[in-house]
């Protein structure tokens, strides 16, 4: 049962509320274990044995120094308060619209990642925000009756014989500000933002001069849109939220092949080529079988570039 827009009762749980409920249920056992572990050594701290999600969130807010310290403390506290409100909405049968449901589920995923939830929990939560499949099932016709074919949606061409109408919405196009910076990267694809000037989709403050160069340092240390605490967690959060903006690695592409592609674009700018290769390695687009040398990505890229120019598998410019 749920309240509809007019305050009346509906007969079944709305799909949006059901998704939010599943997300909150995924979070609860992980959050329970996390809170009890953190409060185990805190004098006077107590969590009821059978605390519900609201009680767990309240315990976090009652022990702010334990849970909300550090650079990400305020952001985590904000997300915890959002979840308290969402839990109240669901408990009181308020119908959530699609945008509200997606916001709550994303908040659950952020909190889950922040507290170190297993990958399976985070993936299952993210799956609840997958684009819904639009299913249009016509009502059953009386026996023997002819059902006219559905009219194509406005703005689409009717299907020809043996063809099909294109029901996909028009693609979102890059939007740029007066300085030529793409400002809607989160709505675009990797190919549309690659090597472009892009406003960070996380904090909407940093401008990447050539996306995605430098994303990892920004995500790890400066992006105000990230809520995780450690540098690796912050980078992981950035990749989880904006992974669609990174090009997938070519299957079986070797280190030399990746460096050749980069060198073709960057030659004769050695430093730019080194940055791009290091960035590709940190995105997982190229891998080392081992790191016996102990070199950081930039150092390895510099050595690989020098090796290519010395041995001839990279051509000097000009």
pLDDT digits (tens, 9 = 90+) for 175-208: 998 889 999 998 888 888 988 999 999 999 899 9
Q: What angle do CA 79, 30, 238 make, to 5 degrees?
A: 50
Distance CA(164)–CA(128), nearest Å, equals 30
Residues 114 and 233 sit within 8 Å (Cβ to Cβ): yes
What DSSP character marks residue 198? E
The reported pLDDT for the residue numbered 198 is 94
How much is the pTM?
A: 0.42
The reported pLDDT for the residue numbered 89 is 66
Low-confidence residues of the chain: pLDDT under 70: 1-11, 70-72, 87-93, 130-171, 248-253, 283, 290-293, 318
Express each pLDDT in 105-140 by its tens digit. Answer: 888 988 888 888 888 888 889 888 865 443 344 444
Three-state DSSP state, 161: coil
Long-range contacts at 220-228 (CB < 8 A, ≥ 24 apart): 225/200, 225/201, 226/72, 226/75, 226/202, 227/72, 227/75, 227/76, 227/79, 227/110, 227/114, 228/72, 228/113, 228/114
Three-state DSSP state, 10: strand
Per DSSP, helices labelled H in the chain are 15-39, 53-62, 64-67, 73-91, 98-114, 119-127, 190-193, 215-221, 231-242, 255-266, 270-282, 297-311
> For the chain, what are the domain ranges?
2-127, 185-245, 255-311
Buried b (16+ CB within 10 A) or exposed e, 261-298: ebbeebbeebebbbbbbbbbbbbebbeeeeeeeeeebb
Nearest Cα neighbor of 236 from 205, 35, 246, 290 is 246
233: which 2 tokens? 């967690």
* Helix 98-114 and helix 231-242, axial crossing angle in degrees, nearest 10: 150
């Amino acid at each position: 049962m749920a309240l509809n827009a007019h305050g009346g009762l509906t007969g079944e749980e709305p799909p949006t509320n059901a998704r939010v409920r599943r997300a909150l249920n995924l979070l609860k056992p992980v959050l329970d274990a996390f809170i009890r572990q953190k409060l185990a050594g805190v004098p006077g701290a107590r969590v009821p044995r059978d605390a519900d999600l609201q009680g767990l969130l309240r315990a976090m807010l009652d022990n702010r120094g334990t849970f909300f310290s550090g650079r990400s403390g305020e952001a985590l506290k904000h997300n915890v308060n959002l979840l308290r409100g969402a839990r109240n909405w669901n408990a009181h049968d308020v119908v959530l619209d699609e945008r509200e449901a997606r916001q709550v589920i994303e908040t659950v995923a952020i909190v889950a990642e922040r507290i170190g939830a297993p990958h399976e929990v985070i993936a299952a939560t993210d799956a609840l925000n997958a684009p819904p499949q639009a299913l249009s099932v016509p009502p059953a016709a009386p026996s023997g009756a002819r059902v006219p074919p559905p009219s194509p949606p406005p703005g689409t061409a009717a299907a020809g014989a043996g063809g099909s109408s294109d029901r996909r919405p028009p693609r979102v196009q890059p939007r740029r500000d007066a300085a030529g910076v793409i400002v809607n990267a989160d709505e675009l694809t990797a190919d549309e933002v690659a090597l472009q000037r892009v406003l960070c989709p996380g904090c909407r403050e940093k401008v990447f001069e050539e996306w995605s160069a430098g994303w990892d340092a920004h995500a790890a240390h400066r992006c105000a849109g990230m809520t995780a605490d450690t540098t690796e967690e912050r980078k992981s959060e950035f990749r989880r939220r904006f992974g669609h903006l990174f090009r997938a690695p070519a299957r079986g592409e070797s280190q030399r092949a990746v460096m050749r592609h980069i060198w073709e674009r960057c030659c004769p700018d050695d430093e730019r080529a080194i940055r791009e290769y290091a960035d590709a390695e940190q995105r997982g687009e190229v891998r080392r079988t081992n790191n016996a040398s102990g070199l950081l990505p930039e150092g390895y890229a510099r050595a690989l570039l020098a090796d290519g120019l010395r041995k001839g598998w990279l051509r000097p410019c000009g």
